[in-house]
Structure 1
Amino acid sequence: MTIEIILFIASILFGIVLYWRESKSNKVYSFFNKLFYSEELQMKPGSKKGFLYQQSFLMRLVYIGVLFLLGIVIIRFIIPIDVYTIQLFIASISGTLVGTYLANFVFKSSEVLDEKSDSFVDVVKDTVEKGKDFIKDLETKDTEAIEEAKKEIKEPEAPKKSARQRLKDKGHL
């Protein structure tokens, strides 16, 4: 089980490296494209599409499966020991697929951050300015509320005389 986990993690890293390498240059894919397709069906010279880069899930799965199948056949001839071949094959394919999608996520997020970096700075500045205005409003509202409270509290008036005291003052009692 640990061999599969180690191979899975290693193949995630392998998938990231493959995707990154192919995003920089797709010479191998364009070579095979020129080899297999006629002039009308060949990809355009400026296209960045590769075996993994800008491909759909199914085509990535096919290309990765063929790559690892060739690798396993070569390894079987070099080392004729039968070690969990199927489990290792599945772990390596799934790890490489996960690695390519992880690399795709990183590339897309970095592109979005590069495009939106100026607007992020503007948004942060606007937010800071709004925060300052909000704090100033709170300070003025606080001082206004304190002044209103002082007016309402006023100095305590002399205690009012009771009805009995008033009657005594008038001489009725």
Structure 2
Amino acid sequence: MTLELIVFIASILFGLLIYWRESNGNGMYRTFNKIINSKKLQMKPEDKTGFVYQQSFLIRLVSITFLFLIAIVIAQFLLPIDLAAISLFASMIVGTILGTYLAQLIFKSNEVIDEQSESLEGIVQETFEKGKDFIHDFKQKNLDKEIPKEELPKETPTDKEQKSARERLKDKGLL
């Protein structure tokens, strides 16, 4: 089980390496394309397609399986140890395909980030400007709402000057 896990992780890294390598250049795929196809069917010079780069799942599966079949046949002839167990073979294929899709995800996310970085910069700049305007408006409203100091009443009758309740009632004619 440990050997299978190690082979699986190594094959994921191998899949990442294959995908990255084919994204930079597809010379081997072009060579096979020229050998196999007629002049009319050969790929265009600007086409970046490779064995796993920009291919569908089925083509990737066939290419990677064929690659590992060749590697296992060579290993059987060179090494006297039987390393070509079916579980290791399956782990290598699944791990490599998983690695190619992981690499594709990384490349796509980098492209999206690069495309959105300019618009993201504009959005951040607009947000800063709106924030500055909001703070300026907020300060202006606070200054407008500031309450002026209330003036004290000019003449406040003191307790001595006020009439008593009895005197007020007499003035009204109630007493």
Hey, what's the Cα distance between the residues in 1 that align with 2:18 and 2:48?
14
SS in structure 1 at match of 2:31: helix
Instruction: Give the deviation of 1:143 after TM superposition.
Output: 4.9
Instruction: Give the deviation of 1:70 after TM superposition.
Output: 1.2
What pairs with 1:147-162 in structure 2 (closer than 5 Å)? 147=146
Please name the residue that 1:104 is paired with: 104
Instruction: Give the deviation of 1:16 after TM superposition.
Output: 0.9
Instruction: Give the deviation of 1:127 after TM superposition.
Output: 1.4
Hey, what's the Cα distance between the residues in 2 that align with 1:118 and 1:106?
20
Instruction: Give the deviation of 1:126 after TM superposition.
Output: 0.9
Q: Which moved more, 1:43-52 or 1:69-78?
A: 69-78
Cα deviation digits, residues 41-100 of structure 1 (max 9, x gap): 111122111101110111111101111111112112222323471111111111111111
Native 8 Å contact 2:19 2:103 kept in 1: yes
Cα RMSD between the aligned structures? 2.6
Describe the shift of the 1:136–1:84 C-alpha distance in structure 2 as closer, same or farther (beyond 3 A). Answer: farther
Hey, what's the Cα distance between the residues in 2 that align with 1:156 and 1:66?
98
Native 8 Å contact 2:76 2:84 kept in 1: no
TM-score, normalised to structure 2's length? 0.79
How many aligned residue pairs are there? 163
Describe the shift of the 1:137–1:168 C-alpha distance in structure 2 as closer, same or farther (beyond 3 A). Answer: same
Mark the structure with the bigger radius of gyration: 2
What pairs with 1:84-163 in structure 2 (closer than 5 Å)? 85-143=85-143, 147=146
Percent pairwise identity? 52
- In structure 1, runs of 5+ residues without a counterpart are 159-164
SS in structure 2 at match of 1:34: helix
Hey, what's the Cα distance between the residues in 2 that align with 1:73 and 1:155?
102
SS in structure 2 at match of 1:54: coil
Q: Which runs of 4+ in 1 moved over 4 A?
A: 141-145, 154-158, 165-168
TM-score, normalised to structure 1's length? 0.80
Amino acid in structure 2 at the alignment position of 1:170: L
Native 8 Å contact 2:72 2:84 kept in 1: no
Hey, what's the Cα distance between the residues in 2 that align with 1:89 and 1:144?
78
Hey, what's the Cα distance between the residues in 2 that align with 1:86 and 1:168?
117
What pairs with 1:19-98 in structure 2 (closer than 5 Å)? 19-83=19-83, 85-98=85-98
Amino acid in structure 2 at the alignment position of 1:53: Y
Hey, what's the Cα distance between the residues in 2 that align with 1:13 and 1:137?
56
Amino acid in structure 1 at the alignment position of 2:130: K
